[in-house]
Amino acid sequence: MTLPTNNKLMSIRTFLKRKAEFQPGHRLVFTNGCFDILHPGHVDLLQRARALGDGLILGLNSDESVKMLNKGSDRPLNTQEERAFVLAGLTCVDYIVIFHESNPLELIRGVRPQILIKGGDWTPDKIVGREVVEKAGGKVLSLPLLEGYSTTAFVERIRTCGTAE
């Protein structure tokens, strides 16, 4: 099945062309992740990240990249195209670029955001790309997570549903 066109999903090259048109002082926020099953915790983090700047670019792990993270042999549950399509439906997400590496460092180097965001399960010293952003005068923030929401925990509940206790 073919999904409708997703105008927010683009290559890094296309994004950089758009970025060249940004007004001086435009604060670009970057975050990344798998976003395999979008849940309230994701939406909350993305909305708060977007509120910190003038545009939010989301680095989305490719299907191969998710597999490199050892989240389980059946992950991702949704393809990168499906995940990008769902994320594009959020008004807080302005741009989506899929990356194929195990981490987004090269994408962050190319994008050069003013603000780099991760969820509170990442301490700032462990956030990939921190040095790049701080060296350029930007900020790196670890935002508190909305408690009780985790894709991994959700998938585990599904896996164990109906098993004997």
pLDDT, tens digit, for every residue of 52-79? 999 999 999 999 999 988 777 878 989 9
Q: Using CB atoms within 10 A of its CB, is residue 63 exposed (0-12), middle (13-18) or buried (19+)?
A: middle
**Per-residue model confidence (pLDDT) at position 56:** 98
Neighbour count for residue 153 (Cβ, 10 Å): 11
Residues with pLDDT less than 70, the chain? 162-165
pTM (whole model) above 0.85: yes
Cα separation of 118 and 145, whole Å?
A: 9
Domains and CATH numbers, the chain: 12-138 (3.40.50.620)
**Per-residue model confidence (pLDDT) at position 25:** 94
